[in-house]
Amino acid sequence: MKRIVLLTAMALAACSSTPPPPDWQMNTKSASERAIAAYLTGNARIDAAEQARARTEVARTGRIDLLARVELAHCAAQVASLVFDACAAFEPLRADAAPAERAYADYLAGKLTAADAALLPQAHRAVATSGSALPGIADPLARLVAAGVLFETHRADPAVIQTAVDTASAQGWRRPLLAWLNVQLKRAEAADATADAQQLRRRIAIVERVTAP
């Protein structure tokens, strides 16, 4: 009886289970996530190795649109860290990228048109036209990316900058934290806020002493 019950349970499980995702899909996702995490913590060696691995895995499919997504995810981490170099790895893929990916690339570059705002991920749609929605973005990286876009388009007020500092600090993301703290420092120096500037320099010195893992 126990054997019959076991075989029946196995048969039912086999019928109800869905096929696992292909290896390339899981490998691409994990490599891309590790690359972004390494970038945010300032580990250039791991970042480069994992980003190369993600590209290799997705290239196995021949899907240019998926490769474009991998490149955009990494470019978003750069924008979160106030690095606004053109997303060079995406541009050769633009012609074959989906409209949503092209819109996101334009958003990251601060060149999104109002007509394409609806193509953005939900978290970024309101931010594309107003910074008021920034604190309501639940995902920390998406919040930092949105703050970076606001900064790039000259719409980052002190509250946006403080939200970015607090977000990067809470996550222990060294690279964006240093970038946003330096923004605050420049503003404090320009306003002759001596005490604030000194406190910010102390914070920056602590973060700079950390060696990338």
User: What tokens appear for 198 in the block?
Assistant: 């000194």
d(CA 93, CA 116): 19
Burial classification of residue 137, based on how many CB atoms lie within 10 Å of its CB (0-12 exposed, 13-18 middle, 19 or more buried): buried
pTM of the model: 0.87
Over residues 57-113, the pLDDT tens digits come to 999 999 999 999 999 999 999 999 999 987 999 999 999 999 999 999 999 999 998
Does residue 17 sit in helix, strand or coil? coil
Which amino acid appears at position 67 of this protein? L
Cβ neighbour number for residue 204 with a 10 Å cutoff: 16
Query: What is the average pLDDT value for the chain, to the nearest integer?
Result: 88
Over residues 143-153, the pLDDT tens digits come to 999 999 999 99
